Structure 1
Amino acid sequence: MFRSRRVTILTRSFLLAAVLLLIMRCNRYEPTETDSERYSRQTISDEDIHRLLTANNSPGQDINPRQLMKSMDNTRRRFQYVMLPSDDVMKPIGDPRNKDTARWTSVVLVKSAQRNKNRRKALRNTWAKVKTYNGSRFITVFIVGQWYNDVGQDPKAIIAEHKAFGDILMVDIQDDITHIPEKTLAGMQWAAEFLPKSWIYSSADDDMSFHLPNFVRYIDGSIGNMLSRTHTEPALQSLPIMCVYCYRDVDEPVRNPKSKWYVSKEDYSPDYWPPHCRGGWYSMPVALVAKLYNVSRRARYLAMDDVWITGLMRMKYLGDAHIAGIFRSVKSLARLMIDAAPLATRNNTELRTHAYETADEVIVSHAGGNIRGRRVNVTRTLLKNWRDWYSAFLELKMARGS
């Protein structure tokens, strides 16, 4: 009996490795000159941007958050780009003259708003100014919406900012808090369309402090674990969704109709969400971003984009890819292709009070500037964390003699 059970376990392990290898082979991608040319063709002139920003029109059809998880008759519309990150920011994409010598590249897609220029300035003066570390490359892009309701907002300001830094991605949606989930999808569409599949994509809020050395150590460890399990290349494309800020194994939908996070039984009947990342910061290979984005285009929308993408769409993709057939237990399937980074399993109180955020372990810290009812000086917090973490990192580096 023991021998039979051992054979069964080995058989399942072999099947899982075979499926992962097949997925990786199907998604091999090398940047080509065509990609660079296609990206350049999307560039829009300053005059076109100003005309679009000042036009008296409205964004495309809004997604009704109440129509949750039901299949749509038609595929969701593609978002249109009003501004794209400059070629200088995105090097190398497809240009053979810009050889990619990094061990791996991470693109951080920061969800921002036109009015949050001080936050973007603080990030550019802290972790977003670091382009390489320990053989890894980092690119930061800020995504904003095209339309806004702020009285007196000058569209020339965002044009000048993009001209100065080239790191703005603007899409044709409303630039307010209710459309943040659509920014997430638009960022995934852009990543799937333009980025190499082996790059790492991170979705982040614009009030997050980021400890690059600890993130690099975590990613390197994840790559090593993947190689030890599959013994195949490329390991980067096979990485799971990585909940860097917060992972929830068990979470209940909010059933209070007065809450902005309310989800009815009709929309979602189970008593618990599948394991998922909470927003703030999560990462995954671009190969997986493309798969989840394609799945999401035929699924009804959920206002909580983190649960929708990293929980529900992940489960839907696993079912569509027939990977679920390897597993007998729904519980084991639910935990497939998702991982919790150090400190990501803290409870709400620990997250709010920044518990255990020591310089040798913390990867991200949330200033809480996007939480209603909390008055936080986000820029001051971002700058303080950067100074504290950087000083601690230098001390540790000197102590190790490296």
Structure 2
Amino acid sequence: MFPRKSLLLKRMCVLVGVLACVWWFGLVGPPPSDDVYLSVLLLNDTELLRTFDELNAELNLTYSAENRTLDEVRGYVARMRRNRPVNPHRFAYLINPSRACDGAPVFLLVYVHSAPGHYRRRAVIRQTWGSVADFAVRVVFLLGRPDWKSMQDALHMEADLYGDIIQEDFVDSYRNLTHKAVMALKWVSLHCTRARFVLKTDDDVFVNMFLLVRHLRRLEATDGRPVRRLLQCMVWRRMKVMRDPKSKWYISREEYRPDYFPTYCSGLAFLLSTDVVMSMYNASLSLPFFWVDDFYVTGLLAARVGVKHRSLAGAYNVRANYFRQEFTDAQKQRTLMFGHVHDLNDFVEVWQQVVEYETRADHPTT
């Protein structure tokens, strides 16, 4: 016999209630304590909105009160008061081109991990793939603080000349790369939210900007609307943790106990939609610091915000010794977007060949 309708209705109500609790706790965490809620309820409407803005600024969040009810804003304020960040990113800007994304809409923002002394690499990128202006692309370089004042003075001159340097007041070192990664997420969230796509790469990476832009346009055409929840890259699964103390990638068991990393992206280059960047930055404030930057961003933060990895493996050349050979191959020119480069002369010569190929090709380049 079938259950009675009243019993079915009760079971459905219980199920809906359980699912609602799971959804709520998954999105916002456990509710704030009664005393936190009481202190927020005592705020009048004006005080509530002012407190919301102050906490947003203090915690470097990107929440918006627009189109929110006052009860929803109260919930945000209560959670912000309870959830003081465990990983606050409070480094001051030394150089900040905050208006770099102003003006015409930005199709693609590229942020490049660089180092203070890598002027020649930045110059070559500006000459080659970073010079393509027809696609509404912006390229910025991320730096920490150098050890010498003379180098800092030179960086200020470079920034004044090109307007594409972003620098914060932490020591630029290998173990501080995660600070640089979070700096990028923060800067995009605060100063370039209108960009439709974001690419992270390094200053020893060649980008075939023509192929990349066509790929992103296909993504938009396929979806038929602005692309959201995008994390696309060369996906690494079950990468073994380096336990050799002589390696610069050495990680002790005290730092990270498992022998294999969960799924994450190659740090050579990965693509994000801007909504994912903003979610990751907000999530980074409550996720403890871990110095392996590509794993922290595309592994830990990606898992925290619930974004899935989409593979783009065929677009990569990770073997620098084969860079010229592969990027000048007639067939691979149609698929390779990212290449690891050692010799800057190869960088320039391969770019010239890519431009010549695009000029002859039977597809539009802009």
Normalising by structure 2, report the TM-score: 0.69
Aligned residue identity for 2:89:
R
Shift of 1:352: 5.5
Query: 1:192 is matched with which residue: 189, 197, 214?
Result: 189
The reply to whether residue 77 of structure 1 matches residue 89 of structure 2 is yes
Specify the SS of the correspondent of 2:336: coil
Shift of 1:361: 1.0
Aligned residue identity for 1:275:
T
Separation in 2 of the partners of 1:109 and 1:192? Answer: 13
Distance 1:77 1:210, change over 3 A: closer
Separation in 2 of the partners of 1:304 and 1:154? Answer: 26
Specify the SS of the correspondent of 1:139: strand
Q: Partner residue of 2:248?
A: 260
Separation in 2 of the partners of 1:107 and 1:157? Answer: 25
Aligned residue identity for 1:176:
S
Q: Partner residue of 1:273?
A: 261
Specify the SS of the correspondent of 2:183: helix
Q: Partner residue of 1:330?
A: none
> How many positions carry a matched residue from both structures?
282
Q: Partner residue of 1:125?
A: 127
The reply to whether residue 397 of structure 1 matches residue 366 of structure 2 is no
Aligned residue identity for 1:80:
A
Work out whether residues 197 and 285 of structure 1, in 8 Å CA contact, stay in contact via their aligned partners in 2: no
The reply to whether residue 241 of structure 1 matches residue 234 of structure 2 is no
Distance 1:345 1:272, change over 3 A: farther
Query: 2:294 is matched with which residue: 282, 298, 306?
Result: 306
Work out whether residues 236 and 263 of structure 2, in 8 Å CA contact, stay in contact via their aligned partners in 1: yes
Work out whether residues 316 and 338 of structure 2, in 8 Å CA contact, stay in contact via their aligned partners in 1: no
Q: Partner residue of 2:39?
A: none
Distance 1:290 1:73, change over 3 A: closer
Q: Partner residue of 1:297?
A: 285
Share of identical aligned residues, percent? 22
Query: 1:353 is matched with which residue: 322, 334, 338?
Result: 322
Separation in 1 of the partners of 2:356 and 2:365? Answer: 15
Specify the SS of the correspondent of 2:88: coil
Shift of 1:394: 1.6
Work out whether residues 189 and 293 of structure 1, in 8 Å CA contact, stay in contact via their aligned partners in 2: yes
Shift of 1:197: 5.3
Specify the SS of the correspondent of 2:211: helix
Specify the SS of the correspondent of 1:204: strand
Aligned residue identity for 1:128:
G
Separation in 2 of the partners of 1:345 and 1:157? Answer: 33
Separation in 2 of the partners of 1:224 and 1:272? Answer: 37
Specify the SS of the correspondent of 1:144: strand
Specify the SS of the correspondent of 1:90: coil
Q: How does 1:17-56 map to 2 (within 5 A)?
A: none
Specify the SS of the correspondent of 1:108: strand
Aligned residue identity for 1:168:
I
Relative contact order (C-alpha < 8 Å, sep 6+): which is higher?
1
Bigger Rg over Cα: 2
Query: 1:218 is matched with which residue: 211, 215, 231?
Result: 215
Specify the SS of the correspondent of 1:172: strand
| Larger helix share, 1 or 2 | 2
Q: How does 1:282-293 map to 2 (within 5 A)?
A: 282-293=270-281
Shift of 1:75: 4.1
Specify the SS of the correspondent of 2:362: helix
Distance 1:203 1:394, change over 3 A: same
Shift of 1:272: 2.5
Distance 1:366 1:106, change over 3 A: same
Specify the SS of the correspondent of 2:260: coil
Query: Please, which moves more after superposition, 271-280 or 260-269?
Result: 260-269
The reply to whether residue 385 of structure 1 matches residue 350 of structure 2 is yes
Gaps of 5+ in 1: 1-14, 24-70, 93-97, 228-232, 319-335, 368-375
Distance 1:214 1:342, change over 3 A: farther
Q: Partner residue of 1:205?
A: 202
Gaps of 5+ in 2: 1-18, 28-82
Separation in 1 of the partners of 2:290 and 2:282? Answer: 16
**What are the Cα deviations for residues 218-256 of structure 1, in whole angstroms up to 9, with x where unaligned?**
2123234444xxxxx4x32x142111xx32133121222
Aligned residue identity for 1:259:
S
Work out whether residues 209 and 382 of structure 1, in 8 Å CA contact, stay in contact via their aligned partners in 2: yes
Work out whether residues 202 and 269 of structure 2, in 8 Å CA contact, stay in contact via their aligned partners in 1: yes
Specify the SS of the correspondent of 1:273: coil
Specify the SS of the correspondent of 1:141: strand
Normalising by structure 1, report the TM-score: 0.63
Separation in 1 of the partners of 2:365 and 2:200? Answer: 34
